[in-house]
Amino acid sequence: MRITTIHATPLLLAFREPYYWAGRCDLDAVAVLVEVRTDEGVSGYAEVTGGYPPVAIDAALQEIGTVLIGLSPLDIAGSLREVHHLYGLTQAGNFANLIVGAVEMALWDIMGKALDQPVYRLLGGACRGEVDYFAFVHGRDAEELAEDAREAVAAGYSVVYMKVGRGESEDMENVAAVRDVIGDRRLRLDANGAWDVRDAIYMIRRLAIYEPDWIEQPAHTKSIAALKHVKESVPVPVAADDLIYSLFDVYEICRQRAADVLVLSPHETGGLAPFRKAAGIAEAAGIAINLHGRFVTGVTDMALHYAALTIPNLTEGNQIMHQILREDIISAPDITPRSGRLGMYDAPGLGFQLDDEAVGRAAELYSRSVTTGT
């Protein structure tokens, strides 16, 4: 079996409701569906997200194609080494890892389909029967957040996640409202790097009365030193998120004890295999991994779920994001968590069935947004 083409389809993913987070409100996001085709008719799928222009992503994918086409999709490590040589980009950083990671995941999808095995088995097998996910509560104000929180409690979630960094009085009011609704369930707060060190320490000390399970990326997203400074100054566990893009970052954060938890996904690390290596580094440091969600579809959530089944040092309340979309692009399986959990699936590859019509609609939405500039 040989790789023949890499095909990119830009998608516009409309959200169910406005998405409020540190300093922003988004109505939709762009993702690029990646299809790696082979000469035996088996295709693998994954996606690139992260806000980079689809035209740049497509150009990078076509360049990667110049070394991948003709190679076996079953020799993933060797193929990816060629890709990294192409750019001199081994563990290079955000943009490269997002794209290489999607190609890597598509290759695992091909291998799983070719061997008729779910990818988690090819990665060494599941070490857990299910993965626990959080309820993501969001809204314009405390009232809307509390409404989401009530739904989360009714649906049986044990971990609730929300954004902070929206302004001091707003944060205090929003977190109080959600804590009031969820009782003693775990509450995760994510600042997405909205604060500087001084504000982060001040805000976390104030928010500590609501007993957050942890605060995610409170300080600058490029600075391990800033994160460590905050972690050592506050009475609440701190998670690293938006600053991890390589195994070196993972090692350095663990070595410096700059975070209590790593929020991470195969996109940041450049694929499923490096993601498992990253989890291994953290495991040796006694630090757990929490799955990182981006603006993704069920394609990515299934890839992450299959990877998570193989990770021993995984937290509860992992991030899952497809539910914020008005329409997902997979038709199966149903990945709505039950009481916050998803179990085992046996479907080969990454386990999802693409909904071709939904892909077409999202691609059409993207084309129209480019044409009209909306």
Please state the closest distance from residue 222 (CB atom) to Mg ion, in A: 15
Contacts of 330 (CB under 8 A, 6+ apart): 297, 298, 299, 302, 352, 353, 354, 355, 358
Q: Which of 28, 132, 190, 328 binds Mg ion (CB under 5 A)?
A: 190
Please state the closest distance from residue 190 (CB atom) to Mg ion, in A: 4
Size (the chain), residues: 374
Q: Which of 216, 249, 328, 355 binds Mg ion (CB under 5 A)?
A: 216
Nearer to Mg ion, 293 or 340 (CB): 293
Q: For Mg ion, which residue has the nearest CB? A: 241
Tokens of 106: 């598509």
Nearer to Mg ion, 100 or 162 (CB): 162
Is residue 241 close enough to count as binding Mg ion by CB under 5 A?
Answer: yes
Is residue 249 close enough to count as binding Mg ion by CB under 5 A?
Answer: no
Distance CA 10, CA 30 (A): 7
Place of tokens 């957050």: 212
Nearer to Mg ion, 37 or 294 (CB): 294
Is residue 268 close enough to count as binding Mg ion by CB under 5 A?
Answer: no
Please state the closest distance from residue 161 (CB atom) to Mg ion, in A: 9
Tokens of 298: 């069920």
Please state the closest distance from residue 127 (CB atom) to Mg ion, in A: 25
Please state the closest distance from residue 270 (CB atom) to Mg ion, in A: 19
Q: Which stretch binds Mg ion (CB under 5 A): 103-111, 186-194, 334-342, 364-372?
A: 186-194
Is residue 355 close enough to count as binding Mg ion by CB under 5 A?
Answer: no
Nearer to Mg ion, 25 or 77 (CB): 25
Please state the closest distance from residue 192 (CB atom) to Mg ion, in A: 6
* CB neighbour class for 171 (10 Å; exposed up to 12, middle 13-18, buried from 19): buried
Q: What is the CA radius of gyration of the chain?
A: 20
What Å distances lie between residue 2 and 40, 71, 105, 143, 173, CA to CA? 8, 5, 16, 55, 57
Residue 344 · residue 129 · CB < 8 Å: yes
* CB neighbour class for 165 (10 Å; exposed up to 12, middle 13-18, buried from 19): buried
Is residue 109 close enough to count as binding Mg ion by CB under 5 A?
Answer: no
Q: Which stretch binds Mg ion (CB under 5 A): 175-183, 208-216, 280-288, 304-312?
A: 208-216
Instruction: Enumerate binding residues for Mg ion (CB under 5 A).
Output: 190, 216, 241
